[in-house]
């Protein structure tokens, strides 16, 4: 229950798992995962992704939750408490900045989902299976500056509203009811998508690995996507851990959240990719419009399709909301704790800053040539922000968190925190090797190679 007015707490372990899963499950799973799988050649990417979840995601998630629960603070305050007077606090600041920027571009896509909900309700996609038509509808829609900015603002407002209602009342209740419903709906849609004419090419792409496609850029993308999807590397799980009670089992909670999140991502692939191939869309070049182009095709091919479409876009919107809430919560918790602002003032000011950062992203997809090509031909403000602050800084943040926990705070303190009230930390030796060596070295190699390959070479 709420401890004081400005710092909340989860009401139970299930409450936390669902809220944690609510943070993790979002556009990352349903929109970004199938798109990146499509761009990176399918099944091999999926294998690398699963390895990243296991080798990086799980250890870093346990690390973040332990730091958060130990200190009961936001990422900056938490790190200052554990390593006073050191420069490690900048890892916390990087998280706060990353949170603001991810929130800004994420709200743009979430706004598109709301727009698509409206279009589906209005019956705009009834009986349309031609990808040329769904593609044009998408392009015209995202190129409209007024609508996209309005929808972005709407989503930022909605997130702020939930955050103002506090942690347990707002975030937890929303997740508890709707995440299970999303799972059921995705299963139904996956069955329909997999039985469409021509879907088998999609299943093949998704499930039969072609190892000649393996390359370092794909590994970086998989790593960034795993961390993004699990909400790691910017302190979200430190913040969520700070609301977790001492009696809950951190390790099993982390396993559940990773499992749920990965399950939903894989399932989304089974919905989107068969449909993409059945409709004859090229997944390697479709970009951020992929799901918006492909999903209407599934709905048109099933009885009651419009109803399923309305249900799906509603639930994606809510999944996005339980994620944006956790993203904006990082900067908000920082100002509440460190600057001692009221929750209300913190939420409103952070939301306004993000909105300003979001406008160029909203204009990046056809509305403005300037923002559409800001960093070179085809390199929009949106693309660069979502790569730098969706992959790179999360990888850097995770690297530092693993090194911090493995070498500075030390894994024995993680074990102590986890075992605080009688829970047992299984396979301690394995965990220690993971946070000290495997996770940081893996990230450092992929990161270092990318910097060398893209910038220095
Ligand atoms: N994990 C969320 C998603 O998949 C996004 C997110 C990233 C949330 C980083 C919090 C922190 O949509």
**Ligand 1 binding pocket includes 258 (Cβ within 6 Å):** no
* Residue 290 DSSP label: H
In angstroms, the Cα distances linking 285 to 35, 176, 282, 322 are 9, 36, 6, 29
* Cβ-proximal residues to 356 (8 Å cutoff; 6+ apart), any chain: none
How far apart CA 16 and CA 189 sit, in angstroms, is 28
Q: Where are the alpha helices (DSSP H) in 13-144?
A: 13-24, 27, 33-39, 43-52, 58-71, 75-82, 89-121, 131-142
**Ligand 1 binding pocket includes 234 (Cβ within 6 Å):** yes
Q: What is the pTM of this model?
A: 0.94
Structure tokens at 159: 């997130």
Structure tokens at 238: 């430190």
How far apart CA 167 and CA 1 sit, in angstroms, is 9
Ligand 1 centroid to Cα of residue 27, in Å, is: 8
C-alpha of 50 from chain center: 15
User: Could you give the angle at the alpha carbon of 222 between the alpha carbons of 220 and 224, nearest 5°?
Assistant: 65
**Ligand 1 binding pocket includes 383 (Cβ within 6 Å):** no
User: Block means of pLDDT (10 residues each) for the chain, length 457 residues?
Assistant: 49 75 94 96 97 96 97 94 96 96 98 98 92 95 97 97 74 71 93 95 96 91 96 95 88 95 97 96 93 93 92 93 92 91 95 98 94 90 92 95 97 96 94 97 89 75
Closest CA to ligand 1's atom 11: 231
Ligand 1 centroid to Cα of residue 415, in Å, is: 26
Residue of 20, 21, 24, 112 best suited for mutating to test ligand 1, as the one with most atoms within 8 Å of CB:
24
Q: How many C-beta neighbours within 10 Å does residue 129 have?
A: 18
Predicted confidence at residue 11, as pLDDT, reads 67
Closest CA to ligand 1's atom 6: 231
Q: Are 380 and 371 in contact (CB under 8 A)?
A: yes
Ligand 1 centroid to Cα of residue 142, in Å, is: 22
Closest CA to ligand 1's atom 9: 231
Predicted confidence at residue 19, as pLDDT, reads 78
How far apart CA 253 and CA 247 sit, in angstroms, is 12
CA torsion, ordered 320, 39, 265, 218, to nearest 10 deg: -110
* Residue 209 DSSP label: -
Closest CA to ligand 1's atom 7: 231
C-alpha of 8 from chain center: 23
Residue of 26, 103, 113 best suited for mutating to test ligand 1, as the one with most atoms within 8 Å of CB:
26
Predicted confidence at residue 1, as pLDDT, reads 31
Q: Are 293 and 281 in contact (CB under 8 A)?
A: yes
How far apart CA 163 and CA 348 sit, in angstroms, is 10
* Cβ-proximal residues to 326 (8 Å cutoff; 6+ apart), any chain: 19, 22, 23, 171, 231, 236, 239, 240
**Ligand 1 binding pocket includes 107 (Cβ within 6 Å):** no
Q: Which helix (H) or strand (E) holds 168?
A: none
Q: Are 450 and 218 in contact (CB under 8 A)?
A: no
* Cβ-proximal residues to 183 (8 Å cutoff; 6+ apart), any chain: 263, 264, 267
Return contacts of 414-422, CB within 8 angstroms, 24+ apart: 414/62, 414/63, 414/66, 417/66, 417/69, 417/70, 417/250, 418/62, 418/66, 418/249, 418/250, 418/251, 420/246, 421/246, 421/247, 422/247
How far apart CA 72 and CA 242 sit, in angstroms, is 4
Q: Quick one: which of 64, 67, 72 has its CA closest to 227?
A: 64
Q: Where are the alpha helices (DSSP H) in 209-342?
A: 216-229, 236-241, 250-279, 290-300, 305-338
Whole-number CA gyration radius for the chain: 21
Ligand 1 centroid to Cα of residue 73, in Å, is: 20
**Ligand 1 binding pocket includes 243 (Cβ within 6 Å):** no
Q: Are 164 and 336 in contact (CB under 8 A)?
A: no
**Ligand 1 binding pocket includes 237 (Cβ within 6 Å):** no
Predicted confidence at residue 3, as pLDDT, reads 40
């Amino acid at each position: 229950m709420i401890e004081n007015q400005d710092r909340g707490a989860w009401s139970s372990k299930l409450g936390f798992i669902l809220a944690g899963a609510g943070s993790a499950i979002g556009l990352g799973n349903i929109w970004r995962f199938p798109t990146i799988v499509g761009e990176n050649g399918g099944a091999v990417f999926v294998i690398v992704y699963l390895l990243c979840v296991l080798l990086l995601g799980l250890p870093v998630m346990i690390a973040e939750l332990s730091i958060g629960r130990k200190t009961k603070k936001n990422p900056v305050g938490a790190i200052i408490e554990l390593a006073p007077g050191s420069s490690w606090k900048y890892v916390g600041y990087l998280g706060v900045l990353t949170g603001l920027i991810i929130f800004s571009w994420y709200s743009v896509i979430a706004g598109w989902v709301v727009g698509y909900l409206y279009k589906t309700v209005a019956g705009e996609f009834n009986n349309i299976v031609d990808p040329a038509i769904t593609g044009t509808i998408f392009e015209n829609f995202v190129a409209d500056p007024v609508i996209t900015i309005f929808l972005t603002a709407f989503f930022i407002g909605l997130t702020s509203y939930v955050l103002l209602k506090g942690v347990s009342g707002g975030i937890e209740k929303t997740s508890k009811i709707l995440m299970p419903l999303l799972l059921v709906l995705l299963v139904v849609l996956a069955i329909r998508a997999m039985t469409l004419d021509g879907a088998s090419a999609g299943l093949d792409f998704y499930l039969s690995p072609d190892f000649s496609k393996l390359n370092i850029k794909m590994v970086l993308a998989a790593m960034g996507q795993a961390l993004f999807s699990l909400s790691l590397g910017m302190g979200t799980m430190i913040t969520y851990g700070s609301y977790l009670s001492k009696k809950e089992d951190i390790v099993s909670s982390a396993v559940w959240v990773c499992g749920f999140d990965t399950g939903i991502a894989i399932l989304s692939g089974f919905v989107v990719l068969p449909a993409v191939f059945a409709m004859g869309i090229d997944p390697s070049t479709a970009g951020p419009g992929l799901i918006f182009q492909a999903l209407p095709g599934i709905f048109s091919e099933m009885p009651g399709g419009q109803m399923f479409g309305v249900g799906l876009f509603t639930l994606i919107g809510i999944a996005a909301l339980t994620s944006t809430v956790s993203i904006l919560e990082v900067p908000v918790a920082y100002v509440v704790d460190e600057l001692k602002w009221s929750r209300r003032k913190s939420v409103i000011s952070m939301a306004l800053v993000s909105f300003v950062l979001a406008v160029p992203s909203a204009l990046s997809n056809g509305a403005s040539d300037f923002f559409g090509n800001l960093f070179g031909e085809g390199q929009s403000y949106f693309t660069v922000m979502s790569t730098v602050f969706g992959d790179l800084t999360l990888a850097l943040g995770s690297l530092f968190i693993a090194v911090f926990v493995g070498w500075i705070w030390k894994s024995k303190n993680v074990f102590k925190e986890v075992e605080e009230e009688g829970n047992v930390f299984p396979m301690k030796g394995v965990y220690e090797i993971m946070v000290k060596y495997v996770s940081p070295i893996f990230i450092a190699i992929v990161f270092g190679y990318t910097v060398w390959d893209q910038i220095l070479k």
